Amino acid sequence: MCTNEPRATLALLVDDHELVRRTMARALTKYFPEVLTAANQTEAEQMLEHREVTHVICDWNLGENHPKGNELVPLWRDRWPSISRAVIFTGTAPEDIATAPAIDGIVDKADGLEALLEALNR
């Protein structure tokens, strides 16, 4: 169950579409004191290097010639132990995405913010 009170955590949203990043970051600021955004693996890892991110929300398809989110999340959780929750937020059918133990949930973008928050709070 999601709560309407901000939590003392830091979220990183990784999505290759600028409109999705801006819209979701704005919505997530009601629940996280700070929301960082990145368009790709390189930008995300630069932020992870310098900040103690607790929650990662990563698109599954970050564009052609980029690793998939379900490949990146396990690598990031191994390297940055501050990540306590990691969710794939995708427009691809969740049942078509291979999961890994490092991924706490896969949420269809069409299911919206409430479904994403629920997956982050499990």
Q: Which two tokens stand for residue 63?
A: 């564009």
What does the pLDDT look like over 41-89, one tens digit per residue?
Answer: 999 999 999 999 999 999 999 999 999 999 999 999 999 999 999 999 9
Domains of the chain: 10-121 (3.40.50.2300)
User: What is the longest distance spanned by two Cα atoms in the chain?
Assistant: 38
Q: Is 58 helix (H, G, I), strand (E, B) or coil?
A: strand
Q: Which two tokens stand for residue 41?
A: 């693996």
Binning pLDDT at 50, 70 and 90, where does residue 3 land?
very low
For residues 108 and 115, the answer to whether their CB atoms sit within 8 Å is: yes
- Interhelix angle 69-79/41-50, rounded to 10 degrees, is 20
- pTM check: above 0.85: yes
What does the pLDDT look like over 87-122, one tens digit per residue?
Answer: 999 887 777 777 778 999 999 999 999 999 999 986
Question: Is the dihedral angle over the CA atoms 47, 49, 50, 56 positive or is it negative?
Answer: positive
